[in-house]
Structure 1
């Protein structure tokens, strides 16, 4: 959420569309701002989101495809979509479809894996096999393996100067750069993100020039495209 640049005051009493919410890690943060949050995912992860965040009175959870959202167009003040569009069949179509639901003047934050750097990650050696493993079986394997590999990744990541590069050699998600002090949260995030690396059928990183072209074609304003490690984060105003 820090990458969005939004404050709780920005979101107060505003409508937010969160697309591709998964189990609801960011949903909770959005709901705590008192925004009216609509959280969408195509998968059965909506049930996990509901179990974790269903107590928020300002949350609506919907299971739907990004390409067929059941909402009026231009009906949301904020659009948030992280960890999603690179895993869809047509990334350009996905990116442009999202903006149909953001009102003119609304603000957005979308991220996508950055080409070329994403292609060099060691997960690419595992994905050809992992994406064909049944999700429940793969998740169980990830849940068992990550706690064993994460400490190694953290130790490598702490090496001065070259830690970030060394940590990438271990194919688990490492959030050490976020400064998480709760080891259980760090482990859970690592399990979820490692599973998200390995399980999707599609993975299509995007170059900056292509993202710039899409934002021009949509006539988006005050656009910034920043690389955060292996991601491009795109922010601006419709």
Structure 2
């Protein structure tokens, strides 16, 4: 007898849709045979702990501790549902080209889900969504998605995700892969997870953001609390007087903008831009070449620079 919907629901902390639970049990490299609030057991005999209703396939947040910090500090800042904002909807539309009709009833992987703001939108559109992230943002994402019975979150390295090949109708990764040790290689590792006929959509930093790389060796090593306090402080005058002559001297050598919806949003964006361990930048042509090398067809540019989508033949 296979794992039950009730047991999976206990593991993920909410009543799951029966169809989604069946897909969830089978999507891993080895199918789930037992599940409960404290762990999952797989057909190959392996187990992973479940903590706060999130299966943990990694022992720590490794090189993404800055994201663990920022998404604990800014849990609600970018969520459409909490801010009466259309930010995530615009992000998904312009960076992936996906629409509600395309994802409804499909199994979608959000690789690098952060606080779950995009996964939340996809679930609202009727998708079955699995969000994965290496950082402790998964605890925030789990709460963001707790009222969706077709969404689940795991903590895992997106370069070594524990899913069976060809599992997903869509794999998306927005603003994440450039923060891995090798953007191209980590993109390649997602390819096998796309089913034949399925699609991969990614957005990575363009060369427009290359100046940040000059600062990353310093700013990524600063204490997160102290640098976040500085970000909160500097965006104040930047929002009040963006043409301040001292700031105009700073912007060319240390680029940032404070023109976001809120002060917290501006501070978050500044912190996010200068604290990751890795900060890759890539041209559209480079990313399109990757998709071609990986065997994708119908490769297309989305409206935002370096947002590329392609279909796996089949």
What TM-score do you get using the length of structure 1 for normalisation?
0.79
Q: Which residues of 2 match residues 79-98 of structure 1 at below 5 A?
A: 79-98=171-190
Unaligned runs of 5+ residues in structure 1 are 157-167, 177-182
Tell which has more relative contact order, 1 or 2 (C-alpha 8 A, sep 6+): 1
Give the Cα–Cα distance (whole angstroms) in 2 for the partners of residues 150 and 82 of structure 1: 27
* Cross-structure match for 1:163: none
User: Tell me, what secondary structure is at the counterpart of 1:103?
Assistant: strand
Change (3 A) 1:111 1:237: same
How far apart are 1:235 and its partner, in Å? 1.0
> Aligned-pair RMSD on alpha carbons?
2.6
* Cross-structure match for 2:256: 172
Q: Which one of 183, 201, 208 corresponds to residue 109 of structure 1?
A: 201
* Cross-structure match for 1:195: 271
Aligned length: 215
CA contact (8 A) 1:149 1:172 kept: no
For residues 158-190 of structure 1, the C-alpha deviation after alignment (integer angstroms, 9 at most, x for no partner) is xxxxxxxxxx757435676xxxxxx44xx4443
Q: Which one of 115, 129, 140 corresponds to residue 218 of structure 2?
A: 129
Greater Rg over alpha carbons, structure: 2
For residues 101-145 of structure 1, the C-alpha deviation after alignment (integer angstroms, 9 at most, x for no partner) is 110111221011112x2224xx44543321102334433433444
Q: Which residues of 2 match residues 37-76 of structure 1 at below 5 A?
A: 37-76=129-168
User: Which deviates the most, 144-153 or 89-98?
Assistant: 144-153
Change (3 A) 1:212 1:149: same
User: Tell me, what secondary structure is at the counterpart of 1:34?
Assistant: coil
Q: Which one of 103, 115, 118 corresponds to residue 26 of structure 1?
A: 118
Q: Which residues of 2 match residues 194-233 of structure 1 at below 5 A?
A: 194-226=270-302, 228=304, 231-233=305-307
* Cross-structure match for 1:179: none
* Cross-structure match for 2:106: 14
* Cross-structure match for 1:149: 238
CA contact (8 A) 2:184 2:290 kept: yes
Change (3 A) 1:56 1:152: farther
CA contact (8 A) 1:114 1:227 kept: no
For residues 4-25 of structure 1, the C-alpha deviation after alignment (integer angstroms, 9 at most, x for no partner) is 2211111111100001111222
What TM-score do you get using the length of structure 2 for normalisation?
0.61
How far apart are 1:152 and its partner, in Å? 4.4
User: Tell me, what secondary structure is at the counterpart of 1:68?
Assistant: coil
* Cross-structure match for 1:119: 210
Unaligned runs of 5+ residues in structure 2 are 1-91, 245-250
Change (3 A) 1:99 1:174: farther
User: Which deviates the most, 129-138 or 53-62?
Assistant: 129-138
How far apart are 1:195 and its partner, in Å? 2.1
CA contact (8 A) 1:85 1:112 kept: yes
Change (3 A) 1:23 1:106: same
CA contact (8 A) 1:113 1:204 kept: yes
